[in-house]
Amino acid sequence: MLNSKTFIIKLRQLAKARTPKRIYFYSIIVGIISGFSALGFFYLVSLAENFTFITLAGIDMGAAAGEAHSVHETLTFRPIVFFLLPVIGALISGLLVYYLAPEAGGAGTDAMIECFHEREGLVKTRTPFVKTLATISILSGGGSAGKEGPISQVGSAIGSLFAQYLGLGERARRALFLAGMAGALGAIFRAPIGAAITAVEVLYKEDFESDSLIPCILSSITGYFVFTSIHGMDHIFQLPAQSFSGWYSLFFYTALGLACMVFGAFFVKMYHSINKISFKINLPFYIKVTIGGFLVGCIGLISYDSIGSGFGFLQKLMEGESNIKSGSLLSGIFLKNNQENHFLSLIIFLLAVVILKILATSFTIGTGGSGGVFGPSLVIGGTIGAIVGLTANHYYPEIVPSYIPFVVVGMGGFFAGVANAPIAAMIMVSELTGSYELLAPLSIVSLIAIIFSNQFNIYPGQRINKFESPAHRWDMTTDLLIHMKVEQYLDKTRDTAILGSNISLRKTYKISDKISQTDFLIKDETSAYKGIFSLRLLTPKQKQTLPKSDKPVIDYINTSIPALKLTDSLSRGLDILLNYDTDKVAVVKENDTLTGYLTFKDILHAYHKMVNKKSVKK
């Protein structure tokens, strides 16, 4: 039986261990930090939105059931203030990004993807703080954006900075980078599995970052428990119990998939067009973002259902047709009580909301405003689903008794198409709504959307697969290295940094200074390999005593780093160098006698020698 004291000791041993599995322990820590960060971000956004919309503008924009707030006062709508909110919010956001952190502008998810592929997962310390403030300014001002992009960037920054603090290598840093994203997403959307899948799937069009899946799951579940232990475990959206109504309805779900493809293409085209136009305009960044805010304010006066997060409007769609009415100018025109053809007017109203939402999102994020596109994609897709579902229900009520399942399926199908993330979209939407019984139509619509949407993509930073990512350059070599044996391609292994186990720290220090080495292989009296001693891993206090210490070096070695045999492949040597904090790997004979060691340079030399040999043969 494992008592609490023993458990704590085990955790400490795991944290100190220099093995690949230590990343699992670090992922849990990153998940805890990301979960609390998501919680703080959520409450800050809620407080800011309540102040700007309810207190200043005198309007209740609504919210998803799992994020609902109570309004007890009588509100007096102030149109001028409401119009100015997106302008002021965009200006503040633009100024923060322009002067403090240019990388914090635009869609957070795409910035995160680009950082993973091109910048080794390295993030500046100020990025998450600036991103948080800039996004709060956009969302509380009514900008059409989502929380997932910013919180993804904040979470990934937490993972990256944590890895940098520990001095971990590039591979481990990238894994914690994704784990931080998953932890923050899993917390704020209360979708632990969907968030983990999103983190590893959204990087590529046709691939997964499978090596990071377990760290992402651990971090996401941890972040989820942190968030829900304080806020509660309700799903983001609540809707009446829904189910797949039968195989005959597949025709209409197929139509929904095609509709998601058409509007998805329009959304991506509009978003990137606005982004290109904004980039070409020769004005300061914050002015361009403010112009986008002005255009969003104009849209808000026509239909406030089309600006902001839109989750309140999406919740109304899920609660039934009678809840769709609102007080906007657009709904006042089309949804009058005495309207003769109510069905047609409702369809036109919803279609207008879709188009205006696409425009508002493009003006908000396409001009550089800080926010995400996942939230707006859910609203757009859900509204398209309502249009198709209402139409099917109107003409074929015996086949489609309710339009509400189409709202949920539309949410997942639309995002799957524009983001090339079908599995993430299906699971995420199921967790957001609790509608797991709709996975069958969700998979069909997502599949249709992804098949016909491969020509456009909302995230330009995505790579087709791992072979196109700089993060996996070494993966290109492993297929060749796996057939290259240590004894076959290296005539003689290095042996200048090998020491006996009884040598003192003082002598080791002198040798290190003489040969410019920090890592040494240690052998005993029988020349058997015992482990690696690293000056780099000593504490500052230990380093101060090095020149005078007569303690044996064997007391400070790392025994967990494996050795290579002469019959092992160079691929295994590369794996050891990448997964352990060392710059050399021991080579031993069958009886564990230490014969030398290999470095990155040795393996690179052998690899290029083989590549050149193959090129000559061609």
Q: Residue 383: pLDDT band by 50, 70, 90 thresholds? A: very high
Q: Tell me how crowded residue 64 is: count the other CB atoms within 10 A of its CB.
A: 22
Asked if residues 572 and 549 have their Cβ atoms less than 8 Å apart, the reply is: no
| 503-524 mean pLDDT | 87
C-alpha closest to that of 60 among 329, 305, 377, 232: 305
**pLDDT of 500 over the 80 cut:** yes
- Alpha-carbon distances, residue 113 vs 152, 199, 409, 581 (angstroms): 10, 9, 26, 26
Asked if residues 314 and 379 have their Cβ atoms less than 8 Å apart, the reply is: yes
The pLDDT assigned to 33 comes to 95
Looking up tokens 């023993």 gives 6
Q: Tell me how crowded residue 91 is: count the other CB atoms within 10 A of its CB.
A: 19
- Measure the CA–CA gap between 537 and 517, rounded to whole angstroms: 13
Which pair of tokens denotes residue 352? 């207008």
**Is 122 buried (19+), middle (13-18) or exposed (0-12) by CB count in 10 A?**
middle
Contact residues for 584 (Cβ-Cβ < 8 A; gap 6+): 494, 497, 519, 521, 532, 577, 597, 598, 599
**pLDDT of 489 over the 50 cut:** yes
Q: Residue 616: pLDDT band by 50, 70, 90 thresholds? A: very low
Asked if residues 420 and 450 have their Cβ atoms less than 8 Å apart, the reply is: yes
- Alpha-carbon distances, residue 610 vs 10, 491, 568, 576 (angstroms): 44, 14, 17, 21
Question: What is the SS3 assignment for 504?
Answer: strand
The pLDDT assigned to 17 comes to 46
Crossing angle (nearest 10°) for helices 600-617 and 570-579: 140
The pLDDT assigned to 193 comes to 93
Q: What is the tens place of the pLDDT at every residue in 151-189?
A: 888 899 999 988 888 877 777 888 999 999 999 999 999
Crossing angle (nearest 10°) for helices 192-201 and 170-188: 140
Phi, psi of 30 (to 5 degrees): -60, -40
Taking the CA of residue 327 as centre, how many other CA atoms within 13 Å lie in the half-sphere pointing to its CB?
A: 9
Alpha carbon 451 to its chain centroid, in Å, reads: 23
Least confident of 28-42, 77-91, 241-255, 511-525: 241-255
- Measure the CA–CA gap between 153 and 155, rounded to whole angstroms: 6
Looking up tokens 């039934």 gives 320
- Measure the CA–CA gap between 576 and 569, rounded to whole angstroms: 11
Domains and CATH numbers, the chain: 18-470 (1.10.3080.10), 474-617 (3.10.580.10)
Torsion-angle region of 363 (φ positive above 0: left; ψ -120 to 50: alpha; else: beta): alpha
Least confident of 4-13, 67-76, 135-144, 161-170: 4-13
Q: Write down how long the chain is.
A: 618
pLDDT: is 538 or 182 the higher one? 182
Which pair of tokens denotes residue 299? 């849209």
Q: Residue 615: pLDDT band by 50, 70, 90 thresholds? A: very low
pLDDT: is 92 or 121 the higher one? 92
The sheet with strand 519-523 has its strands ordered as 498-500, 519-523, 529-534
The pLDDT assigned to 39 comes to 93
Query: Which H or E run includes 587?
Result: strand 585-588
**pLDDT of 376 over the 80 cut:** yes
Taking the CA of residue 304 as centre, how many other CA atoms within 13 Å lie in the half-sphere pointing to its CB?
A: 24
pTM, 2 dp: 0.76
| 415-419 mean pLDDT | 88
Which pair of tokens denotes residue 446? 């997502």
The sheet with strand 585-588 has its strands ordered as 564-565, 585-588, 594-598
Phi, psi of 554 (to 5 degrees): -65, -20
C-alpha closest to that of 40 among 293, 288, 227: 227
**Is 578 buried (19+), middle (13-18) or exposed (0-12) by CB count in 10 A?**
middle
Tell me the β-bridge partners of 519: 534
Least confident of 41-55, 166-180, 451-465, 516-530: 451-465
- Measure the CA–CA gap between 376 and 374, rounded to whole angstroms: 6
**pLDDT of 291 over the 90 cut:** yes
| 539-547 mean pLDDT | 77
Which pair of tokens denotes residue 77? 């709508």
**pLDDT of 131 over the 80 cut:** yes
**pLDDT of 310 over the 60 cut:** yes
Q: What is the tens place of the pLDDT at every residue in 315-345?
A: 888 887 766 765 566 666 666 654 557 788 8
Query: Which H or E run includes 522?
Result: strand 519-523
| 86-112 mean pLDDT | 84
Q: Which residues of 515-554 are buried (b: 16+ CB within 10 A; e: fewer)?
A: eeeebbbbbeeeeebbbbbbbebbeeeeeeebeebeebbb
Query: Which H or E run includes 611?
Result: helix 600-617
Asked if residues 15 and 25 have their Cβ atoms less than 8 Å apart, the reply is: yes
Taking CA 293 as the corner, what is the angle to CA 289 and CA 297, rounded to the nearest 5 degrees? Answer: 170
